[in-house]
């Protein structure tokens, strides 16, 4: 397995492409616009420069990594003769289902289809294809080049061979794969999102302020980043989407999003990506720089 396609050049997509390319894979990076692809490549280049400055890689390593990435604006052109497609589009059920319908039609029969979804059912996604045994979840953590964990999520029909292949592939990337079953939120977000939501509820109820809540969790629980700052980094819209998926899936009120989170998303206060969330980032750095401050 040497030829990989990644759909989506945003934060997760460019991180996944970066990680595969740095590990020697040939990567087709696909997005709907040249501008998005350029932003994605610029981010990869800057992240590689940061690694060079820390003496993690050399200038030659950077050149080799970038040379392994080819960009495409059409899915059908970017998935020809690849062994694996990793979808990293927006966390939207309808969008992902449409992407997988198209992938099933245009990819070779042997191609494994993976999704980087952080909460949506793998079984539901696989059901729109004619290769449900070859559909699997690869939930990378952000920032992808730094974080070691990959949640490997089996759909109801995902085969043992495909699961084992993706587990071993993740190890070649220097990651630690953990196999989990297909339930809303999987493991990472089933535990993380209620904690973030409860932190927002704590703020909403006036128990303490933003910095006080984050300080308690950083100093008292040894978290590298406070929960409200982490929510900003993830994206408040993403947090809301994941909580809604979990609430719809379990019908349990403990997963219901806090009204403050709902209103902030409605107001466009999405965190680092919009320049303001629980903190003000208007004079700050990009999300990748914010993360590198904590995750070294």
Residues classed as catalytic: 118, 139, 151, 189
Facing residues of 85 across strands?
5, 113
Give 253: exposed, middle or buried? Use CB within 10 Å, 0-12, 13-18, 19+: exposed
Q: How far apart (Å, rounded) are the C-alpha atoms in residues 83 and 67?
A: 19
Dihedral (CA of 198, 204, 210, 213) sign: negative
Contact 295, 146 (CB under 8 A): yes
Q: How far apart (Å, rounded) are the C-alpha atoms in residues 75 and 69?
A: 15
Token pair listed for 296: 């070294």
Q: How far apart (Å, rounded) are the C-alpha atoms in residues 275 and 285?
A: 9
Q: How far apart (Å, rounded) are the C-alpha atoms in residues 216 and 199?
A: 11
Contact 277, 271 (CB under 8 A): yes
Question: Edge to edge, what strands does the sheet with 176-181 contain?
Answer: 69-72, 26-30, 3-7, 84-87, 112-115, 135-140, 149-154, 176-181
């Amino acid at each position: 397995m040497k030829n990989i396609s990644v759909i989506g050049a945003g934060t997760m997509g460019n991180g996944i492409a970066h990680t595969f390319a740095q590990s020697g894979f040939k990567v087709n990076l696909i997005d709907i616009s040249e501008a998005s692809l350029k932003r994605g490549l610029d981010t990869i280049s800057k992240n590689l420069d940061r690694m060079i400055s820390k003496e993690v890689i050399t200038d030659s390593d950077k050149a080799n990594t970038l040379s392994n990435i080819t960009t495409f604006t059409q899915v059908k052109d970017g998935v020809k003769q690849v062994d694996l497609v990793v979808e990293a589009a927006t966390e939207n059920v309808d969008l992902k289902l449409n992407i997988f319908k198209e992938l099933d039609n245009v990819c070779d029969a042997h191609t494994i289809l993976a999704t980087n979804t952080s909460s949506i059912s793998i079984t539901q996604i696989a059901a729109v294809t004619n290769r449900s045994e070859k559909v699997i979840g690869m939930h990378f953590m952000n920032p992808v080049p730094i974080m070691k964990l990959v949640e490997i999520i089996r759909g109801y029909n995902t085969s043992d061979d495909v699961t084992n292949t993706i587990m071993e592939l993740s190890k070649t990337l220097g990651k630690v794969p953990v196999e989990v079953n297909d339930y809303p939120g999987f493991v990472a977000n089933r535990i993380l999102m209620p904690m973030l939501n409860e932190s927002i509820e704590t703020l909403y109820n006036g128990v303490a302020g933003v910095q006080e809540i984050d300080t308690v969790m950083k100093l008292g629980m040894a978290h590298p980043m406070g929960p409200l700052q982490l929510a900003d980094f993830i994206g408040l819209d993403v947090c809301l989407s994941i909580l809604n998926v979990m609430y719809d899936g379990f019908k349990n009120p403990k997963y219901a999003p806090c009204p403050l989170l709902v209103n902030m998303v409605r107001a466009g206060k999405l965190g680092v990506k919009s320049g303001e969330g629980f903190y003000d980032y208007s004079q700050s750095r990009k999300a990748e720089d914010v993360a590198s401050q904590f995750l070294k």
